[in-house]
Homo-oligomer: A and B are copies of this chain.
């Protein structure tokens, strides 16, 4: 799959700006404080451990990997596949598509086509595919929920850290000259909490949400396509249905390339068929 390094660039840019902002008027060393990071990051992670099942938390590393993958599914290829499949099904019968199932790389598409070939009722296929889609969405949304919660907890633990620092500082207020340093240290955890929430956790949650939206659209197109295929609808109608998911501007090119590819595919098959 293609890489998407934009989120990485965003994160580097954000960290860079903050480091530049600090170094341009002060000393970076006063912002590096391991205990502050431990209380902010560790404390909020404790809350995550209580909030979510371990099996969901364990998926975080693999979820993080999806952020650097290109979130744009290949719509042209999907439409092309359905046009080719529906032409084949109309000319050679629905069972003929069984040979093409293996070439697909989307799990939902594979299971949907398999059910069509197995001759299940359209209502059953729709039910199963919609439940599958819904459950894919639910599972994805747990990833978002975790990062959203983390982005909510990080500033809370930042504030708890600052409160601890303030109470200690205020309790030892013998030497007024230490107030400044004490408060500066106390504020570091608030800084960490805000920084982690707004540069890491919340943007990642948004990113995952956008990716889920895109993937759900892709799943809907597959469900629509599989059911139209089974109903034996005209390839032209299937194409129109699927292209209604795409923006007008991009339609032209997507469709053109899809039709061309499908024509080519059919020609090849006829040659070798």
Asked whether, in the complex, the Cβ of A35 is within 8 Å of the Cβ of B43, the reply is: no
The A1-19 residues at the B interface (CB cut-off 8 A) are 4, 6-7, 9-11, 13-14, 17-18
* Main SS at interface, chain A: helix
Residues of B near A191 (CB, < 8 A) are 160, 163-164, 167
Cross-chain contact A166 with B195 (CB below 8 angstroms): no
Q: Which of B18, B47, B71, B190 contacts A198 (CB 8 A)?
A: B47
Complex contacts, A9 vs chain B, CB 8 Å:
49
Q: A7-B50, A187-B170 are in contact. Are A43 and B30 (CB under 8 A)?
A: no
8 A Cβ contacts from A210-228 to B: 210, 213-214, 217, 224
Determine the chain B residues whose CB is within 8 A of the CB of A104 once the complex forms: none
Q: Which residues of B contact A47 (CB under 8 A)?
A: 10, 14, 198-199, 202-203
Name the B residues within 8 Å of A207 (CB-CB): 50-52
Interface membership of chain A positions 36-75, coded 1 if the CB is closer than 8 angstroms to chain B and 0 otherwise: 0011001101111111111110000000000100011000
| Nearest residue, chain B, Cβ from A247 | B139
Which of A43, A153, A167 has the most chain B CB atoms inside 10 A of its CB? A167
Q: Are A244 and B131 in contact (CB under 8 A)?
A: yes
Pick from B55, B136, B206, B210: contact of A72, CB under 8 Å: B55
How many residues of A are in contact with the other chain, CB < 8 A? 104
Question: Is A188 positioned at the interface, with any CB of B under 8 Å from its CB?
Answer: yes
Complex Cα distance, B49 from A165, in Å, reads 34
Among A179, A180, A188, A210: residue with most chain B CB under 10 A: A180
Q: Which of A25, A50, A142 has the most CB of B within 10 A?
A: A50
8 other A-B residue contacts (CB within 8 Å) besides A13-B42, A51-B203:
A4-B53, A6-B49, A14-B46, A26-B171, A164-B191, A169-B180, A171-B184, A173-B180
Residues on A lying within 8 angstroms of B by beta carbon are 4, 6-7, 9-11, 13-14, 17-18, 20-22, 24-27, 30-31, 35, 38-39, 42-43, 45-56, 67, 71-72, 107, 115, 120, 124, 127-129, 131-132, 135-136, 138-139, 142, 149, 153, 156-157, 159-161, 163-173, 177, 179-181, 183-184, 187-188, 190-191, 194-195, 197-199, 202-204, 206-207, 210, 213-214, 217, 224, 237, 240-241, 244-248
